[in-house]
Chain A
């Protein structure tokens, strides 16, 4: 297991288009988190899953955002009708419940033009 994998690494899209990102967590980890990082800011929590259940969604996650984790394995984050303000690094992380920290993936950098 090589860690948390995110795909794609970079995505450039036109405003109004839909995009989908994928995250493959460390296989034994039961928790999966999505964060967003913009320039000059730390990672901001978006949502998280315990197995296949989505337990919390941040108010940052507008109705245009949806995340899934079917069968408690990989997760997808979809953004519909992208806006320029959605441009950011989207980070996925996974962990055991009760473990210390998270293991992050390398992120997907989204640029909306």
Chain B
């Protein structure tokens, strides 16, 4: 039973354009959502998060949107840069502080 779903295994975006990564979840008890970025042979690195009581959080080029009624969140990266090429994991925290991850979306930024 996958509680956090990233349905796009990969995404290619032209440099300078907007990258939109999507994520759906099933558990309405999640209270916090996060995005992590991962390069090969490294551990995931925290990118941005959002509390379940908010619908938007912005940090520089990165914005996360949360639609609780649809159980959907998205990460927007604008403008996309070559260094953004990585695997992005959507994650959700449940009430006992455990984080559950999606399978990830590999983002390719094209020159």
Contact = CB atoms under 8 A, between A and B. Distances in A.
A105 B98 CA distance: 17
Interface stretch (A12-20, A65-73, A96-104): A96-104
Contacts of A100: 32, 34, 46, 49, 93
A30 B32 CA distance: 19
A76 B43 CA distance: 17
Interface residues of A, number: 27
A35, A40, A43: residue with the most chain B Cβ atoms closer than 10 Å: A43
B104 A101 contact: no
A101 B99 contact: yes
Interface in B22-46: 32, 34, 36, 41-46
Interface residues on B, range: 20 to 34
Contacts of A106: 41-43
A97 B97 contact: yes
Contact of A45 (B98, B102, B104): B98
Contacts of B89: 42-43
A71 B12 CA distance: 47
Contacts of A93: 43
B34 A104 contact: no
Contacts of B86: none
9 contacts: A42-B6, A42-B89, A42-B102, A42-B104, A44-B101, A93-B43, A101-B91, A105-B43, A106-B41
Given A42-B4, A42-B89, A43-B44, 5 more contacts: A31-B97, A45-B99, A100-B46, A102-B99, A107-B42
Q: For the complex of A and B, list the 6 residue pairs with the smallest distance between their C-beta atoms, beginning with the closest.
A: A42-B101, A104-B43, A101-B46, A101-B34, A43-B101, A106-B43
